[in-house]
Amino acid sequence: MLETFPNPHPQRDYLIEHEVHEFTSMCPITGQPDFATISIRYVAAAKCVELKSLKLYLQGYRNKGIFYEDVTNVILNDLVAACGPKWMQVVSHWTVRGGIHSVITVEHGKNPLA
């Protein structure tokens, strides 16, 4: 489902960031909707993530029941499988539930720019 296109400047390590404001999934226990902003940062190797397929991929969670910690790791795993980046980070910022605001940060590989 996630599509890619060839990195147009593969000879240079550079940072690509996509912040998706309108992510929604569901709580696996209560069935209540959850809302988050998903931030994706990566240094591409041969392939870049195509934005329209990324949007559709993330829309696929709209009616899926899944925990905060789990979905953040799964998105990272799927993106890494699709585009094989040198380094990738996924951060999910969740809206307040019961007075608690949660953020999950996961990484794959070592950032060559750090």
- Figure out which of the listed residues 9, 81, 110, 114 binds a copy of itself, where binding follows CB under 8 A: 9
CA distance 69 to 106: 9
The backbone torsions φ and ψ at residue 76, rounded to the nearest 5 degrees and listed phi first, read -60, -50
Indicate whether 72 belongs to the interface with a copy of itself (CB under 8 A): yes
47, 41, 5, 49: which is closest to 113 by C-alpha? 41
- Figure out which of the listed residues 46, 64, 103, 112 binds a copy of itself, where binding follows CB under 8 A: 103
Judged by the rule CB under 8 A, the positions of this chain that interact with a copy of itself are 7-9, 12, 14-22, 24, 32-33, 35, 48, 51-52, 54-55, 59, 62-63, 67, 69-70, 72-73, 95-107, 113
